Amino acid sequence: MFEHIQPYAGDPIFALVDAFNADPRPHKVNLSIGIYFDEQGRLPVLPSVQAAEARILAAAGPKPYLPMEGDAACRTQVAALLLGAGHPAIAAGRVATIQTVGSSGGLKVGADFLKTWLPEAQVWVSDPTWDNHRAMFEGSGFVVNAYPYYDAATGGVRFDDMLTTLRALPRRSIVLLHACCHNPTGVDLSAAQWDALIPVLRERELLPYLDLAYQGFGDGIEQDAYAVRALADAGLTYFVANSFSKSMSVYGERCGALSAICATAAEAALVLGQLRFTVRRIYSSPALHAAKIVAHVLGDADLRPMWEAELVAMRERIAAMRVALHARLVALAPGRDFGYFLSQRGMFSYTGLSADQVDRLREEHAVYLIRSGRICVAGLNTGNVNRTAEAMAKVLAG
Ligand code: LMR
């Protein structure tokens, strides 16, 4: 029955985590997966989330199925977090938000929906992007192409080339964009670049699909939502998949959402209906506990400011690690430009290290990063940053 099945080569990110966990060297450093670790190298349990869970437990409520679209309070809070409370698109009923199984669940539900309703469309992702973007959309039956994005020569964005490519796309092409904290490069579009991009998206009638997995890890909750709000203010129709995995440190709870910002309330109702049907066909309905955590933390007058402060602390710790790694590398490898560590945003930095150098870091120094040269800066702490810099300097020296 199954003898013809091809072996699965494994996911490059999850396989590296397995290899890290199996590595007996005590000084090993995990800069592989996009997870925030604290100064002690632990996965934090945020006090705001703990308090929310204590309340949920104390309420000892029943555990019914959620509706296909998820919990109403959670969905309302998510739309307000993305667009700002009272945004005209929300007031006009033009936002269809569903609670999903992490933002990956949202991306996948959106991809299946789009394959049904825009079957001729092709998908365009940034070069490079999160590996799983391509896999997910191809899995939904799309042809996936790449638009120019990262400029290895300058460490910036090939913005003119990006615009030229997007200007030539057929109408109703789907353009996947990282709303902030670009994964894997850490190189974001500036507000001015978003402002220049939006007219192209509108004139070419492209469908932007925003991935917002790191809201709050760039410059702040509001600042990191710039693209989401600018697209809405410009009257575009678009999708946004967002995640609470990192921002609430609730990875395994699978807390995420998918929102469609539509031209009219009638369109939003149609989209919501078909998103519900899409969910029903994949996993029927999302997780109750995830909904309760998100709704409590975002909606409670005490827990919300607590969570926002916790998010600031995580962001500032990452920024401090960027500064520390940069300073140490500048001292150890003078003459090289490490300024990108300071200008990039979010959890990730694209180091420019080759796959061979990455292999040496892992094999000779027990420093784990993915072979594209991306590091998760949130895996650094004051106890391992110097050693990491020393290992990088040695590998760079040849
Ligand atoms: C990452 O890019 O490391 C994270 O988004 C985790 C994942 O699922 O790959």
Q: Of 108, 188, 194, 246, which residue is the catalytic one?
A: 246
> Pocket of ligand 1, candidates 33, 107, 211, 348: which has the most ligand atoms within 8 Å of its Cβ, to mutate?
33
**Ligand 1 centre and the CA of 33: distance in Å?**
5
**108 is an active site residue:** no
Mean of the per-residue pLDDT values of the chain: 97
Q: Of 71, 188, 211, 224, which residue is the catalytic one?
A: 211
- The confidence score (pLDDT) of residue 298 equals 98
Band the pLDDT of 261: cuts 50, 70, 90: very high
Q: How far apart are CA 364 and CA 374, in angstroms?
A: 18
Q: Of 71, 108, 130, 307, which residue is the catalytic one?
A: 130
Instruction: Check pocket membership of 33 for ligand 1, CB cut-off 6 A.
Output: yes
**307 is an active site residue:** no
- The stretch 104-124 carries a mean pLDDT of 98
- The stretch 125-153 carries a mean pLDDT of 97
- The confidence score (pLDDT) of residue 25 equals 97
- The confidence score (pLDDT) of residue 52 equals 98
- The stretch 70-96 carries a mean pLDDT of 97
Under a CB-based contact definition with an 8 Å cutoff, are residues 102 and 286 in contact?
A: no
- Name residues whose C-beta falls within 8 Å of residue 112's C-beta, 6 or more positions apart in sequence: 140, 278, 281, 282
Give the model confidence (pLDDT) of 37-74 as tens digits: 999 999 999 999 999 999 999 999 999 999 999 999 99
Instruction: Give the strand pairing for 123-127 and 174-178.
Output: parallel
- Name residues whose C-beta falls within 8 Å of residue 393's C-beta, 6 or more positions apart in sequence: 329, 332, 333
- The stretch 267-274 carries a mean pLDDT of 98
Percent of the chain, pLDDT > 70?
Answer: 100
Q: How far apart are CA 187 and CA 348, in angstroms?
A: 9
- Closest residue by CA, ligand 1 atom 1: 34
- pLDDT above 90: residue 389: yes
pTM comes to 0.97
Band the pLDDT of 398: cuts 50, 70, 90: confident
- The stretch 375-390 carries a mean pLDDT of 97
- The stretch 366-380 carries a mean pLDDT of 97
Instruction: Check pocket membership of 183 for ligand 1, CB cut-off 6 A.
Output: yes
Token pair in block for residue 171: 């109408």
- For residue 34, give the ligand 1 atom closest to its CA: 3
- Closest residue by CA, ligand 1 atom 5: 34
Token pair in block for residue 362: 């892992």
- For residue 130, give the ligand 1 atom closest to its CA: 2
Instruction: State the CB neighbour count (10 A cutoff) for residue 251.
Output: 17
Instruction: Check pocket membership of 130 for ligand 1, CB cut-off 6 A.
Output: yes
- Closest residue by CA, ligand 1 atom 6: 34
- The stretch 227-248 carries a mean pLDDT of 98
Band the pLDDT of 87: cuts 50, 70, 90: very high
- For residue 14, give the ligand 1 atom closest to its CA: 9
- The confidence score (pLDDT) of residue 56 equals 97
- The confidence score (pLDDT) of residue 332 equals 96
**246 is an active site residue:** yes
- The stretch 268-279 carries a mean pLDDT of 98
Q: How far apart are CA 344 and CA 379, in angstroms?
A: 16
